[in-house]
Amino acid sequence: MSSFRTLALSAGLCLLTACAAPQVERFYTLNGGAAPVAAPAAGAANFYVEVLAVSVPQQVSRNQLVLTASGGRVELLEQERWAGPLAAEIGQALSTAITGDLGAIDVYRTPYADKLPVYRISTNVQRFESALGRYALIDAVWSVRQLASGKVLTCRSVVNEKVEGGYDALVAGHRRALAQVAAQMAQAVRAFPADGRGC
């Protein structure tokens, strides 16, 4: 009887101390993973960019990955998380891609000389949808402002990437979508219109 009590007591203690295998949290980033881009040589850049802080919908502005489910439902994944705040992840990914494409320097929150033109890029992500095994969607309204003239180009990018099953594939889909948005932004800077009209 005493061995039975000992066994029962051990089982009870095991439950109280959560001796089951702990659940592992996985962290994902939207930045990095691509081939490194050489920084422009000193004095080589023809202009600067300022990639401002990005705004994202409140529903996805959290550390957990948020899945889009049927019937208007969303699912918060406690074990699958972004490495940093989602808005910061998006902003860093855009900045890295844009500066790599243009060979420019992002001077946001950094002092800089006034001798080069500056293009300020603002981004408002209106939809950031993650449908596991189906698609990764980004719908963003963004603008490029030439600071010297005050002229503004306002555009919208909607990118829907099909993805396979699994969280790695979903994050990779968002990376591809952001790369497309960044390429459109870089092209807008490169071909900034004299009249400042929208896209």
Query: Can you tell me whether residue 100 is helix, strand or coil?
Result: helix
Q: What would the pLDDT profile of 84-113 be if each residue is shown by its tens digit?
A: 999 999 999 999 999 999 999 999 999 988
Q: What would the pLDDT profile of 148-183 be if each residue is shown by its tens digit?
A: 999 999 999 999 999 999 999 999 999 999 999 999
**Is the sign of the CA dihedral 56, 57, 62, 68 positive or negative?**
negative
Residue type at position 67: L
pTM over 0.75: yes
Q: What count of Cα atoms within 13 Å lies in the side-chain half-sphere of residue 164? A: 3
Rounded Cα–Cα distance for residues 119 and 145 (Å): 5
Residues in the chain: 199
Axis crossing angle, helix 86-102 with helix 167-190, rounded to the nearest 10? 50
- Which residues on adjacent β-strands are paired with residue 68? 74
Q: Kindly list the distances between the CA atom of residue 37 and the CA atoms of 40, 43, 49, 67, in Å, as whole numbers in the listed order.
A: 9, 17, 16, 32
